[in-house]
């Protein structure tokens, strides 16, 4: 091992240098280096038919993906809003680049390690939508800001603003900050006096620069029925909009008032002062979003095309009305609605077993042999993408490109 | 990039060489190489308190892990059985080594890429419990066998045996094979005449060597109540045991008759001809297994200690009876029973949000501040471990070791 000079190995050792003697570092075996042992699953080559991919394989239809990105950008611009797509959905630098190329103001990240991974890929306009509460993460966030000057950090707690200011000072920077104002009870500071006081504090602290406000309404995105969704989304955010108005009156910077998502993208322009939408799932459209219903009254939300699928292989066809595939909970998660088998509306797909999917059916369009492939839609895109090292970009059934899921597993 | 000489980069390029021009390879940015961009989350150092780990963090209590491994080995040996632990549970070469050091006959892997990753770490006695049905995977499995002479491949389908024989011949080897005989409808060839015919075929094919039989009863493992579990496990496998007897009478090799798991480990010795148990979850003991009940009539299955936890951080404490953590579905999956908060039996933990956990409670042992840590038990160990790049080995609350999850994401 002492003869290896790989930069990756050095980085790995540096990361654990504090107590290298106690860290279990895999010994090189049969010519593999540590970095290769830790490396992700090797992808298959481009140019082949998607039906020749080894499975389970995560695929995105490139035509649909590109159409979704273009359509969202057009729609938001028509409503005089910007887009700040949330990368927690795809965790993929290549897709973030497509979004930026289409005109996004920047991207969002949910966790610090996700932001770090995307920044390491050269993405520079990243807004971290969650506060960091440990000393270690606060310091890392400010180091990230130092390397990536357009990085923006969310804050929702006064002591945290002080800690962030101290870390920014230590890093020798003035860090851009947005106040995360709550919609609901999950995260964020409540709208009104508390939020206004936090905004003033951030504005006052010398090593922080107030850029505005985040207000993500996670609960509204999946409300079924457009009219109800619209009414609830606008009601939920009314106090936040009033707080932003109050900030404006007090001369505080509100150049960013960001929130919303795929379920409310066509509603957010009705919020006074709103600037940009943190759309995520629209690139893929999963079973959950398809079920929320569209503005046209259609029970299927069809503003964007379903582009994300998982390919599986049949490993048991011996019993009538049953099939087993190699794509279970480790390929799909357990979100509902369950995966849909494309072209087989009569099939029920249960991914409840870790390694296997179980299909039951009364009618199928054809008979299936051992080794045959099936293609499934995805229940909920974010956690499914997080299971894979690569996504295969498909055009007309051929693998055109293989994209690493840059921030796969980066949930810290 | 052209000046980089890292072995990892060469391996990555080689893997995609067939059409490198079309593969999207991340360009190096700010000194990062491709291999580093694809590298996993960097772990924190050993020696620190587990309460200083950035979260979500996957932890295993080393005392309990070691006790579990020793106790299982003792118990199986007392019943004149071997252990062949299933690595699909931990996907971790370091834990597999502990199992081997304790006296395991070998380990099992559920998928080819999982077996490849563990073999690359030097584990050589691997039984792949699932058949490979694509030409690409069959070829890879036989290459793995060539590098790892003690590798054993499961087969449950006659045409697949022919394909495997051809690939073994092409690789210049005689490959060890076990017949996977079904318990239930999920996978495997039905017991009786079909299985016997497949065993005879494998025995006859010149480049395959029959080693025996697998019969894993996934359905029996989680049956609540020991007496019912025992009765069902023994009933379910009776036809398989008769098939093994018939194989013996026909002079076929039955040196391996392997199956069972953590729920039936103390029952399997009652199956005639049985040789070893594919125990998995006993190393960690998750909420699902704790709930199945023990032989002593205790509703908690306490044969092994619960060693696996996830640490989370409180990111919202503003509402009475509610807390939000940073550990949601991307940290826990959606399996039930839900995570348990250690030391807080009155808390209900809902990991249903991708990035956040929501705790509701009427009573808590103390008040919690922003940034405080909580430690949770895990609903179902296998898919949770699969979400993390590293597991922190904890002894008396200190991080003693950091182990890579060697085959994390290797579901192909």
* pLDDT tens-place string over residues B100-120: 999 999 999 999 999 999 999
Q: What one-character-per-residue DSSP string does B23-50 give? A: S--PPP-TT--HHHHTSPPPPPPTTSBG
Q: Tell the burial category of B367 from Cβ atoms under 10 Å away from its Cβ (0-12, 13-18, 19+).
A: exposed
pLDDT at B29 exceeding the cut of 90: no
Report whether pLDDT(B23) > 60: no
Query: Is B41 close to A136, i.e. CB distance below 8 A?
Result: no
pLDDT at B41: 62
- What's the pLDDT at B40? 53
Retrieve residue A8's tokens.
């990756």
A218 touches chain B (CB under 8 A): yes
Complex ipTM value: 0.91
A6/B contact by beta carbon, under 8 A:
yes
Q: Is the per-residue pLDDT at B22 higher than 80?
A: no
- By C-alpha distance, the chain B residue nearest A118 is B37
Nearest CA in chain A to B31: A120
pLDDT at B10: 37
pLDDT digits (tens, 9 = 90+) for B238-295: 999 999 999 999 999 999 999 999 999 999 999 999 999 999 999 999 999 999 999 9
Residue B322 C-alpha, separation from nearest chain A C-alpha, in angstroms:
8
User: Mean pLDDT over residues A141-160, rounded?
Assistant: 97
- Summarised one tens digit per residue, pLDDT across range A301-348 is 999 999 999 999 999 999 999 999 999 999 999 999 999 999 999 999
Asked whether B349 and B340 are in contact (CB, 8 A), the reply is: yes
Mean pLDDT of B189-198: 98
Give yes or no for A275 touching B (CB within 8 A).
Answer: no
CB B107 within 8 A of CB B123: yes
Which residues from B are below 8 Å from A356, CB to CB?
186-187
At residue A45, the pLDDT reads 86
Domains of chain B: 50-57+303-404 (2.40.37.20), 62-290 (3.20.20.10)
pLDDT at A55 over 90: yes
How far is the alpha carbon of A289 from chain B, nearest alpha carbon, in Å?
15
Which residues in chain A are closer than 8 Å to B26, comparing Cβ atoms? 93, 121, 404, 406
Q: What is the pLDDT of residues A168-207, one digit of tens each?
A: 999 999 999 999 999 999 999 999 999 999 999 999 999 9
On whether any CB of chain B is under 8 Å from the CB of A1, the answer is no
Report the alpha-carbon distance of residue B116 to residue B133 in Å, rounded: 16
pLDDT exceeds cutoff 70 at A37: no
Token pair in block for residue B353: 């949000």
The reply to whether omega before A337 is within 30° of 0 (cis) is: yes
Residue of A nearest to B123 (CA): A29
- Tell if the CB–CB gap between A411 and B52 is shorter than 8 Å: no
Residues 12-51 of A with CB under 8 A from B: 12, 15-19, 22-24, 26-27, 29-30, 32-33, 35-47
The helix (run of H) or strand (run of E) holding residue A63 is helix A62-78
pLDDT at A199: 98
Q: What is the DSSP string of A24-43?
A: --PPP-TT--HHHHHSPPPP
CB-based contact B313:B370 (threshold 8 Å): no
Task: Check if the beta carbon of residue B127 is closer than 8 Å to that of residue B152.
Answer: yes
Using an 8 Å CB-CB cutoff, list chain B residues near A55: 134, 412
Run of H or E including B7: helix B7-15
What average pLDDT is seen over chain A?
91
- Decide if A113 and B30 are in contact by the 8 Å CB cutoff: no
Dihedral, B56, B60, B61, B66 alpha carbons, nearest 10: 180
Chosen for mutation from B34, B65, B369, B411 (greatest number of chain A CBs closer than 10 Å) is B411
**What is the arithmetic mean of pLDDT over B16-40?**
38
Is A24 close to B329, i.e. CB distance below 8 A?
Answer: no
Query: Which of A6, A184, A198 to mutate: most B Cβ within 10 Å?
Result: A6
Please give the share of chain A, as a percent, with pLDDT higher than 70. 90
Q: How far is CA B274 from CA A99, B69, B178, B188, B228, in A?
A: 57, 21, 14, 17, 20
In angstroms, the separation between the Cα of residue B381 and the nearest Cα of chain A is: 10
Would you state the pLDDT for residue A369? 97
Looking up tokens 């090797």, which residue turns up?
Answer: A42
- Against a cut of 0.90, is the pTM above it? yes
Q: Verify whether the Cβ–Cβ distance A7 to B131 is below 8 Å.
A: no
For residue A8, what pLDDT band results from cuts at 50, 70 and 90?
very low
Q: Residue A27 class from Cβ within 10 Å (0-12 exposed, 13-18 middle, 19+ buried)? A: exposed
pLDDT tens digits, one per residue of A221-268: 999 999 999 999 999 999 999 999 999 999 999 999 999 999 999 999
Scan residues 132-191 of B and list those with Cβ closer than 8 Å to A. 133-134, 136-137, 147, 156-157, 159-160, 182, 185-190
Please compute the mean of the pLDDT values over residues A5-9 and round it to a whole number. 37
Chain A residues within 8 A of B218 when measuring between CB atoms: 353
Query: How many Cβ atoms from other residues are within 10 Å of residue A363's Cβ?
Result: 9
Q: Which candidate from B15, B22, B387 shows the least CB-CB separation from A401?
A: B22
Query: In angstroms, what separates the C-alpha of B22 from chain A's closest C-alpha?
Result: 6
CA diameter of chain A? 72
A307 vs B: CB within 8 A = no
pLDDT category at A20 given cuts 50, 70, 90 is very low
CB spacing of B353 vs A387 below 8 angstroms: no
Kindly state whether A322 is in contact with chain B, defined as any CB-CB distance less than 8 angstroms: yes
Closest chain B residue to A400 measured between Cα atoms? B22
Asked if the Cβ–Cβ distance from B409 to A400 is below 8 Å, we say no
3-class secondary structure, B196: helix
Any B CB within 8 A of A66 CB: no
CA dihedral A263, A268, A274, A279 (to 10 degrees): 20
- Nearest-CB residue to A8 (from B36, B44, B333): B36
Q: Which of residues 235-264 of B touch A (CB under 8 A)?
A: none
pLDDT of residue A271: 98
- For the segment B392-411, the average pLDDT, to the nearest whole number, is 96
pLDDT digits (tens, 9 = 90+) for A86-97: 999 999 999 999
Mean pLDDT over residues B9-31, rounded? 35
């Amino acid at each position: 091992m002492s003869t290896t000079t790989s930069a990756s190995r050095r980085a790995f050792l540096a990361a654990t240098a504090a107590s290298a003697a106690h860290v279990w570092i895999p010994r090189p075996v049969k010519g593999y280096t540590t970095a290769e042992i830790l490396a992700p699953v090797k992808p298959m080559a481009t140019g082949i038919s998607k039906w020749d991919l080894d499975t389970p394989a995560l695929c995105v239809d490139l035509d649909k993906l590109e159409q979704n990105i273009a359509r969202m950008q057009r729609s938001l611009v028509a409503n005089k809003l910007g887009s700040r797509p949330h990368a927690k959905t795809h965790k993929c630098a290549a897709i973030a680049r497509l979004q930026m190329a289409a005109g996004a103001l920047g991207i969002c990240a949910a966790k610090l390690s996700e932001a770090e991974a995307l920044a390491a890929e050269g993405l520079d306009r990243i807004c971290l939508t969650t506060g960091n509460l440990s000393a270690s993460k606060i310091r890392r966030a400010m180091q990230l800001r130092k390397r990536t000057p357009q990085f923006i950090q969310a804050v929702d707690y006064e002591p945290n603003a002080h800690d962030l200011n101290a870390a920014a000072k230590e890093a020798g920077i003035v860090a851009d900050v947005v106040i995360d104002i709550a919609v609901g009870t999950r995260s964020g500071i409540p709208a009104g006096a508390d939020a206004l006081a936090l905004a003033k504090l951030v504005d006052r602290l010398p090593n922080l620069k107030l850029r505005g406000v985040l207000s993500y309404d996670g609960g509204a995105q999946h409300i079924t029925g457009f009219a109800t969704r619209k009414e609830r989304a606008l009601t939920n955010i009314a106090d936040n909009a009033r707080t932003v108005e109050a900030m404006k009156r007090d001369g505080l910077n509100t150049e960013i008032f960001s929130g919303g998502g795929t379920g409310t993208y066509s509603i957010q322009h009705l919020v006074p002062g709103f600037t940009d939408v943190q759309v995520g799932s629209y690139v893929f459209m999963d079973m959950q979003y398809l079920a929320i219903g569209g503005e046209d009254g259609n029970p299927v939300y069809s503003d964007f095309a379903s582009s994300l699928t998982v390919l599986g292989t049949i490993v048991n066809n011996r019993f009538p009305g049953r099939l087993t595939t190699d794509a279970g909970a480790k390929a799909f998660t357990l979100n509902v609605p369950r995966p849909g088998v494309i072209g087989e509306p009569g099939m029920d797909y249960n991914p409840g077993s870790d390694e296997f999917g179980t299909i039951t059916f009364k009618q199928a369009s054809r008979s299936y042999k051992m080794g045959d492939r099936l293609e499934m839609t995805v229940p909920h895109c974010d956690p499914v993408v997080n299971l894979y090292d690569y996504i295969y970009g498909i055009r007309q059934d051929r693998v055109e490109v293989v994209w690493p899921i840059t921030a796969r597993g980066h949930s810290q």
